[in-house]
Chains A and B, each alone.
Chain A
Amino acid sequence: MAERAKPAAVPLVLGDKTPGQVTADITRALERRPGFLWWAAFVPSVAALAVGVAAVVYLLRTGVGVWGINTTVPWGFDITNFVFWIGIGHAGTFISAILYLFRQKWRTSVNRSAEAMTIIAVTCAGIFPMIHMGRVWFFYWMFPYPNTRGPLWLNFESPLVWDVFAILTYFTVSLIFWYVGLIPDLATVRDRTRSRVKRFLFGVFSLGWSGRFRVWHRYETVYLLLAGLATALVISVHTIVSWDFATTVIPGWHTTIFPPYFVTGAIFSGMAMVLTLMLIARKVMGLEAYITRRHVDPMCKVVIVASGLVALAYVTEFFTALYSGNPTEAFAFVNRALGPLGWGFWIMVACNVLIPQLFWIKKVRSTFLLVFVISILINVGMWFERFVIIVATLQRGYLPSSWATYVPTSVEIATLVGSFGLFFTAFLLFARFLPVIAIAEVKGVLGTSRAKGGGPR
């Protein structure tokens, strides 16, 4: 009913809540036992996770050969999934940091879970570069630590080394950012909960928060700083990931457009994933009042913009390739579209460029089921984007003699499934045990709904 009304009139939080109600509503989810829907989502997730674990154990025991990759296509699902998950993570930071800097109030309901999503996604991403190594047990050689081999440091000219720094920084900063935002709410829960265990745990992690305004004052500064730094990461991390490809000599990878292309792509896919999760959390945790059209609508708009940027990147790539007069370069791109993996390319175009255009229609934006479906399709499309960039490019390189095909094995597919399992399992646990919505921040924006002062500065 309310969702029909004009956006301006629609409040960020429905039902004219008081801070007390807000606290109650949001923490209620943590206090009562999880409902059927939660279990319905949790059980399959754990099952998927188990499959993934089995696949990885088998991989580590047997060797990377259990994947379908080969001499010509040495990277397949592994790096595809890595880039995909990293991309997912970016939207979390985008929402919580960049939108914070832009004073987007609507972010308050979603930023908490978006940040959680970032951390989980980065974890999923981090697993792949790790297990894709031929000798995982030497992963620590990727760090520059004093050793008895010279000491032999690292090749700081290798994008993979940059990756190591980027991913770890990204993970740590996201974690801090998320935790800082969480402290006041932990205190809130601490002071409400009746369970001793919870009171103890939340007590420990809320660091003795007592709502003093002087602390709030510093808190605000820190939050702002972290937001700023995280923003720098949104840009830099995926730029560095894109350099894994852009700094090579492989036609189809060796392009200067990659950094912006990857960053927009990341935010695009991330936004879609946030939508997916929001709409799930909304139902599963019964937060219909807090996640409303006022949140979904702008996200849909961001998606349209991102989709446009991605489309622009696709076009530019092709143009430069064909205009450059570099035969191998031109071939690489024609081959992407019309070669053996052309179908992947067209899935990508359909899901990333065409389907998101539906969001121009308000009716679509306000029909959550449609939004949910589209958001999932976008994620499919973005996964294929990475797959096409990596596999379709490697498949047909410089020397036609070594052209080959790549067919993923069951182990690879199981690993991909497993990563989704990990993602959703972790997210559902988060939704179950921590406030999925930034209580303090929402209270801040209640004022706006009641046309009075308040809200974070």
Chain B
Amino acid sequence: MSRRLFIAVFERGEDLLAAVRASRARGLKVHEVFTPYPVRGLEEALELKQSRLPWVCLGFALGAAIAMLTFQVWAMTIDWPINVGGKPWNALPAFVPAKFEMMVLAGSVSVFIAFLLASRLFPGKRSRLIVPGVTDDKFALVLEEADASFDPEEIAKMCEGFNVVRVEERLAETEDS
């Protein structure tokens, strides 16, 4: 059976924030929130946990650094040692810059790609907005039916307090993006 969703649309980040706090206080399950810009304080309100992307970045960066350093040492001292200006075969300090740049490059590219994968963003993906304008000036709060406490009228009344502009009910299968 399909779950019911309750969608409240606000026009100001602060109202949304308040509404979220209120709904969570009532033990309602916040299915998702849509905003045109990252509203400060929402993370806490929604108790989102820290993203794991930094680890991806760190891993790839270190990997690249080690690989690049090894490659340079191998190429200059083992694969084909060439006397260049009488410098020692293994001129480690000289290998630092290239290594460093590769580290940064790998870190950035990896974290970018990881982000796209994690967020399932990709070119050509069809975007279905929950309500028009969430990329412009609308803030949408989506509550999901979890238990008996889910009562649209009640919730609508609650939202009034946060000068909501529109409320609507929907079945879940339509939503997802």
Contacts and interface: CB of A to CB of B under 8 A. Distances in A.
Given A144-B75, A229-B107, A236-B97, A155 B84 contact: yes
B54 A225 contact: yes
A173 B108 contact: yes
A159 B37 CA distance: 43
A107 to B, nearest CB: 15
Nearest to B54: A225
Contacts of A439: 36
A183 B126 CA distance: 14
A207 B125 CA distance: 6
Contacts of A20: 136-137
Given A153-B80, A157-B84, A217-B48, A225 B40 contact: no
B97 A208 contact: no
A176 B106 CA distance: 12
Interface in A204-256: 204-222, 225-226, 229-230, 232-233, 236, 240, 243
Interface residues of A, number: 74
A29 B40 CA distance: 28
A236 to B, nearest CB: 6
Interface string B114-138: 0110110111111111101111110
A210 B135 CA distance: 7
**B80, B128, B137 pick with most chain A CB within 10 angstroms:** B137
A177 B14 CA distance: 29
A165 interface: yes
Contacts of A23: 36, 136-137
**B35, B102, B124, B126 pick with most chain A CB within 10 angstroms:** B35
B79 interface: yes
Contacts of B41: 453
Contacts of A230: 108
Interface stretch (B87-95, B144-152, B154-162): B87-95
A184 interface: yes
Contacts of B112: 176, 180, 222, 226
B171 interface: no
Question: How would you classify the secondary structure of chain A's contact residues: helix, strand, loop or mixed?
Answer: helix
Contacts of B177: 208, 210, 212
B168 interface: no
B108 A226 contact: yes
**B36, B126, B127, B129 pick with most chain A CB within 10 angstroms:** B36
B170 to A, nearest CB: 15
A206 B80 contact: no
B97 A217 contact: no
Contacts of B118: 218
Contacts of A65: none
Nearest to A144: B75
Contact of B34 (A19, A210, A447): A210
Interface in A11-46: 18-20, 22-23
B135 A233 contact: no
Contact of B98 (A162, A219, A441): A162
Nearest to B51: A221
B33 interface: yes
Nearest to B124: A204
Nearest to B114: A222
Contacts of B115: 180, 218-219, 222
B108 A204 contact: no
A168 B177 CA distance: 35
Interface in B31-85: 32-43, 46, 48, 50-51, 53-54, 57, 71-72, 75-76, 79-80, 82, 84-85
A232 B103 CA distance: 11
Nearest to B48: A217
A225 B132 contact: no
Given A152-B80, A165-B97, A209-B121, A220 B75 contact: no
A226 B113 CA distance: 12
Contacts of B53: 218, 221-222, 225
A440 B36 contact: yes
Interface stretch (A113-121, A187-195, A357-365): A187-195
B111 interface: yes
Contacts of B100: 232, 236
A188 B129 CA distance: 11
B101 A165 contact: yes
A263 B87 CA distance: 28
Contacts of B82: 155
Nearest to B120: A208
Contact of A456 (B40, B119, B137): B40
Contact of A453 (B14, B34, B75, B136): B14
A440 B135 CA distance: 9
B84 A206 contact: no
Contact of A166 (B76, B97, B121): B97
Given A153-B80, A166-B101, A188-B36, A205 B128 contact: no
Sorted from nearest, which 5 A-B pairs have the closest CB atoms?
A208-B125, A20-B137, A19-B137, A207-B121, A162-B97
18 contacts: A153-B76, A157-B76, A161-B98, A169-B101, A180-B115, A208-B124, A209-B121, A209-B127, A209-B135, A210-B134, A211-B36, A213-B38, A218-B53, A225-B54, A225-B57, A236-B101, A443-B137, A444-B37
Interface of A: 18-20, 22-23, 144, 150-157, 159, 161-162, 165-166, 168-169, 172-173, 176-177, 180, 183-184, 187-188, 190-192, 203-222, 225-226, 229-230, 232-233, 236, 240, 243, 439-441, 443-444, 447, 452-457
